[in-house]
Structure 1
């Protein structure tokens, strides 16, 4: 019985020493820059952010300007149409959604005009 306990203690001690040496070795290893590992759309997004474009997909809120028929609010899109939401009043609890199509300015229910303009894709 004593020899069984001795073998168990020796094997546990070896595992503990191996774990400690593994931890020491792993602390020296570092991951490379995420830009080096990224591919495809993720890499293009990271490159756009490095170039200074914080919103490469134009997902942030765009503040409305005059919004007249002669000077509509310009909404960027890489496609021929885009779904746009207009918060007509500052305290509104709902959003008025509408589809914008390239070359066709559209008027919201609140009276503001919107126009789709071309933007190069990411």
Structure 2
């Protein structure tokens, strides 16, 4: 994995966690807003914040897809994580595992353990 690909995946990982957390909080605040009459509308404040995080996630996802040369199934899976509340947390965990595996393979190639 080259440096630009690793950077693109790292950016996607870094935005995944706040995007996933903001999605969960926004969903909870929206449910509270419509079930409990409250004078405080947190969803009105958190909505635009989550919107910006979602847009950043999509931009970073497109960059990672382009650089990592994911197949359509993998790209669709990582996009779907952005739509599911808390899915960004799952995406971060999977991306971290893939990056760690890539480092292990690169080290093995460098040491001559793997021929490829």
State the TM-score, normalized to the length of structure 2: 0.21
State the TM-score, normalized to the length of structure 1: 0.21
Larger Rg: 1
Higher relative contact order (CA 8 A, sep 6+): 2
